[in-house]
Amino acid sequence: MELEAFDEPLRGRKVLVVSSLDLALSRFASVESSSLFKGKSILVIGDTGSVPQTPNPLLFRKRWDVIFRVKDSFDAQMLATYVSHATKPVRVFWVGDDIPKALWAKWTDVTLIGFSESGRGCDWDVILFPIGHSYDAMERCLGGRNANIPLMLQRIKVHLSEIADSKAGIAWSCIDHAGTPGSLFWYDPSEGRQTIQPFTKAEASALLNGIAKWLES
């Protein structure tokens, strides 16, 4: 079995990174760098459920141009308005609840990177799995996309340990595969990865206070 390397640029694509927030942020940083840090970088926390989302502190080690908390349709409309008028190129990093189709369907020229445990919520162009992600988890994430996907995964199942030992991850992409289930690739998760400095005690205290106020709002 041979897997080709995934080397498509992510700018202007809808990309889901499964399970690894660190990997998702690294991929977002790579897109920023390829855009020469022009335009706007937007963090969106989807929070439409009855239980408030508690943001991962890692999200706030990065400087964002603006942060949205989407709790209802009014918040979604505010986000849509901001994105449509923001300086281009626009990059959106989405965590939390599923992305409303009314938003992502209009973002044809926006780079959207989502972080989730599943493949729901968007017609993703690319899905990236971290090193050593289990076969069952990948099948759950990809299986509903096309009847051929389980067969494609079955072909690489016996090679997953070998791929993980090589420090490579599995990627699914439908770029240039319109009307088909897409293809599976390998990719290097360490490419473009940045070292994130730990919080100081003062930073951690300020962040926890901010999150507490966030949850109270």
Give the pLDDT band (50/70/90) at residue 198.
Answer: low
Q: Are 89 and 111 in contact (CB under 8 A)?
A: yes
Beta bridge partners of 94: 44, 114
pTM of the model: 0.86
Task: Please tell me the distance from the alpha carbon of residue 5 to that of residue 210, in angstroms, as a whole number.
Answer: 41
Per-residue pLDDT of 59-102, as tens digits, reads 888 889 999 999 899 999 999 999 999 999 999 999 988 888 88
Task: Please tell me the distance from the alpha carbon of residue 192 to that of residue 9, in angstroms, as a whole number.
Answer: 13
Give the chain's domains with CATH numbers: 14-216 (3.40.50)
Per-residue pLDDT of 133-181, as tens digits, reads 999 999 888 877 766 778 888 889 999 999 999 999 999 998 876 556 6
